[in-house]
Amino acid sequence: MAKDKDPFDDLFEPFELDDGPPPPGSEPPPPPPPVPEPEAAQPAAPVEQAPCPSCGAFNPAYNRHCEQCGARLTKEPLPVAPAPMVRATPGGRALSVLAAAVLVVALVALLFNVFGGGDDVTQDTTTTTTTSAAPIAVVEQRPTDVRASAQLADSYADSNLIDDNFDTEWQANHADTLIIEFTWAQPVQIEYLQIFNIEDQDRFLRNYRIKGYKITTDDLPGVENRNTLKDQAGGPQRIDIASINTTSLTLEILTTYESQALSGEVPFNEVVVAEVKFWGTAAG
């Protein structure tokens, strides 16, 4: 016999109970996170402007120089770069160590003298003053002998050249080779010599006079002093000499001034010199 259908079955949809959770991978994806809205940009603060004292153009206050003319905008001093570090060299370090060691020794010695000395010990401090030696005075160095290669007569001998008498004179024929050698018993350092012509103007002009000369010394044989004398009566005429340890000086007459006829008087044929003096010091 068939079972009657329940009239309420058409009012409800059939459904099934789930047996368990859905299988993996079948879940729906999570919703995306909310995107933050961008913040509205804040308006930039206005930059303080400063006028240029030179051209008047406005520049940002932080500028140091004008963008228009390049003039300085502020009176503040410019930043100064730090001084470069000095790298000590090995020699400098060694010198510093040595200086420090000397300073330590000096301090130790000072402390010992102050605190270590006995009460009965009297320290005598002597101050030594160093003075420079006085310069050696240049004095006349008179030769002990003189020899001329020629002379007119005994009354006009070569010895008259060093007799310290200006009224006597040496004469020799101007055509001869005239060489005069002066010698000293002890070595001398000659700084200069003086030649004196005769003082009488008429006699001076009527005789031949030394013009060109050559001077050598035995201590400096390769050194020659060549020059000319002035044509003047009397003297002295100075000649500087390079000499260190001289015992012999040679004067060679190379040329002469011509003798002259005065007041109808004929000229002489002789060369005339009144005196020769030497100045210097004893050789060291």
Question: How would you write the pLDDT of the chain (284 residues) with one tens digit per residue?
Answer: 445 555 555 555 554 545 555 565 556 666 777 766 666 656 666 777 888 888 888 888 778 788 888 787 776 665 665 665 656 566 667 677 777 877 877 777 777 666 655 444 444 445 555 556 667 799 999 999 999 999 999 999 999 999 999 999 999 999 999 999 999 999 999 999 999 999 999 999 999 999 999 999 999 988 999 999 999 999 899 999 999 999 999 999 999 999 999 988 899 999 999 999 999 999 87
| Residue 259 · residue 205 · CB < 8 Å | yes
DSSP conformation class of 262: B
Q: Output the pLDDT for position 75.
A: 65
Q: Output the pLDDT for position 234.
A: 93
What is the rounded CA–CA span in Å between residue 145 and residue 168? 17
Q: Output the pLDDT for position 152.
A: 93
What is the rounded CA–CA span in Å between residue 141 and residue 278? 5
Q: Output the pLDDT for position 42.
A: 62
User: What angle (nearest 5°) sits at the alpha carbon of residue 242, between those of residues 170 and 190?
Assistant: 55
* Cβ-Cβ contacts under 8 Å for 61 (sequence gap 6 or more): 47, 48, 49, 50
Q: Output the pLDDT for position 53.
A: 80
Model-level pTM?
0.54
Q: Output the pLDDT for position 72.
A: 79
Q: Output the pLDDT for position 267.
A: 95
Tokens at 139, concatenated: 């004095």
From 232, 235, 247, select the one nearest 280 (Cα to Cα).
247
